[in-house]
Structure 1
Amino acid sequence: MANGSRQAAWEFFGTELKRRREDAGLTQVELGSRVFVSGGYIGQFEQAIRKPQLDVAQRIDEVLQTDGIFERLCRKLIDDKRYAEYFAGVVELERQATQICEFAPTLVPGMLQTAVYARAVTVAANPFVTDEYVEEKVTARLERARILEDATRPEYWVVLHENVLCVPVGGRESMAAQLHHIARLMRERLVMVTVLPYSAGAHPSMGGMLTLLEFDDAPPAAYTETSFSGTLVDDPGVVKNAQRAYDLLRVAALSPEASLALIESVAEDYRRCTRTT
């Protein structure tokens, strides 16, 4: 579904929600309290500013007795085969975020990946799929990255574990190009990337990838991901703990200048290895 039609569909979701809520004689605050979100959240859903998660849509159906209409709408709208179901909602939030902070323990984050790197990751995880499937996934990742070039782009902070630099995904030439791509974005001040070195030892987010999202007119959210699942949360207590963990990662990471020097040095090492083989 194209972005324009998706947005129109979310606006329909919001308009229908407002109509059904008012028919039930409930304020935004009253409905919010019954589905365990704030009244402000309900307002954001109705204005298509924020997209409700599936479990919230299901609770809205229960409270308003709407025979599953909001669950069906939500499932239809998040059914973007380019992304795992648990990640589709994150993609929507990225487009609205004013700041995105990521910790990547093993792989370059999707929004920083080159096409060659993204293709190698996709094939490694899906060795029996068609070329069309692979290209669809790669295209989706490159499309996500376009927000970094927008005039209204979010601040994008990334902490890369040194592991990410040392695994030659797609081969040495691929890694050299990937690291030079990251260095270019850093030098153009489109992103802020730091490296958590091996010498830092144990760190507070050893369970997997972590993403924090902040918004102008909505509470922050956190997303964690392991190999086969992801969890998007906006519970204030959980998000606060995730933010603290990220702060500790930033303190333990190298400075931006030292990180850039390391990334470019490792990229050149890959280049030299490529030339001599």
Structure 2
Amino acid sequence: MPEKELPDWTKFGREVRRLRSQAGLSLSDVSSRMNISIGMLSKIERATRAPKRDTVGELDRVLCTNGSLMRRWSDVNRKVADPDWYRRVEDAEAAAVEIRLHNPTLIPGPLQAPEYTREVLNYGRPLDSDADINALLELKAKRAERALSGGDPRLTALVPEMVIRDCVGSPKTASAQLRHLVDLQESGKVTMYVIPRGVPTHISLSTGSFSLISFVDRMPTVFVESASGGELIDHPPREIQRFVSVFGLLQGWALSPADTLGLIREACHGFSVE
């Protein structure tokens, strides 16, 4: 019985075949230069087998593609791995004019520095392989890049003081994260408000981590994030208003952007980095 073609990998397989033919190499030639059988290479080209990251890295080297195959692999792998909710979030954020972020326990995702994100993922997903973690890092980095690209959407974030002063990972990682926040605030890419200690931030524990995504032509949408994924909420209006009210209440208690910047700088000095 012939093996079933994997539609998501068809274009990738054709591109591998095209590059191999363009280089004047046979299946045997490529196989002999890397750790893969002729049969497996043929399956990748026919899209009956999804390639692994290490294999694509070797193909990049043998076919001299300067990383283009790896980028294609990442795009396809993301499409295959992304749940439907993530694609819906991407579409919503692309159409947004404003995104308001709040996480009661961590720096909001788009504002995280890479090593901070890695620490969070390593602790929160102990069963994932390094390849899985790297794929998630790439996914989150692309989301952050879109959100911080300038212009729409405008980005606003509420961050509890406890989260600013908490040491996630090493002092070096924590310090780098705070410097990243300072850079973002100074660049105008995001407006941050620190919620000082003493404010009853526990009111947001009932909502958890969320993003309020606002548009020109329709009601806001709420993205509620969890350890295992997320959910987009666009009805009923009363439920949306609950998140709007929580965000507004916390923002009313928060420090000004200027005082927020001063507190983050002061907290950064509190981490001794060798």
Shift of 1:134: 1.1
Give the structure 1 partner of residue 262 of structure 2.
Answer: 261
Shift of 1:81: 5.7
Shift of 1:217: 2.1
| Structure 2 counterpart of 1:188, one-letter code | S
For residues 136 and 95 of structure 1, what CA distance do their matches in structure 2 show?
A: 21
**1:1-277 equivalent positions in 2, closer than 5 A:** 80=79, 83=82, 86-207=85-206, 208-228=208-228, 230-235=230-235, 236-270=237-271, 273-275=272-274
Encode CA deviations 1:219-259: one digit per residue, 9 max, x unaligned.
21112234445332112221122111111010011111111
Shift of 1:159: 0.2
Shift of 1:205: 1.6
Structure with max Cα Rg: 2
CA contact (8 A) 1:82 1:137 kept: no
Shift of 1:149: 4.1
CA contact (8 A) 2:111 2:181 kept: yes
- Give the TM-score of the pair, scaled to structure 2: 0.66
Larger mean Cα displacement after TM superposition, 195-204 or 137-146: 195-204
Encode CA deviations 1:252-276: one digit per residue, 9 max, x unaligned.
1111111111111111211xx223x
Unaligned runs of 5+ residues in structure 1 are 6-78
Shift of 1:122: 1.0
CA contact (8 A) 2:124 2:227 kept: no
CA contact (8 A) 1:213 1:221 kept: yes
CA contact (8 A) 1:82 1:136 kept: no
Aligned-pair identity (%): 26
| Shift in CA distance, 81/263, structure 1 to aligned 2, threshold 3 Å | farther
Unaligned runs of 5+ residues in structure 2 are 1-6, 12-77
For residues 88 and 213 of structure 2, what CA distance do their matches in structure 1 show?
A: 12
| Shift in CA distance, 109/83, structure 1 to aligned 2, threshold 3 Å | farther
For residues 201 and 125 of structure 2, what CA distance do their matches in structure 1 show?
A: 31
Equivalenced residues, count: 199
| Structure 1 counterpart of 2:167, one-letter code | P
- Give the TM-score of the pair, scaled to structure 1: 0.65
For residues 95 and 185 of structure 2, what CA distance do their matches in structure 1 show?
A: 22
Shift of 1:202: 4.5
Shift of 1:201: 2.5
Encode CA deviations 1:34-78: one digit per residue, 9 max, x unaligned.
xxxxxxxxxxxxxxxxxxxxxxxxxxxxxxxxxxxxxxxxxxxxx
Shift of 1:210: 2.1
CA contact (8 A) 1:100 1:156 kept: yes
SS at the partner of 1:193? strand
| Shift in CA distance, 202/269, structure 1 to aligned 2, threshold 3 Å | closer
| Structure 2 counterpart of 1:112, one-letter code | L
Give the structure 2 partner of residue 41 of structure 1.
Answer: none
SS at the partner of 1:95? helix
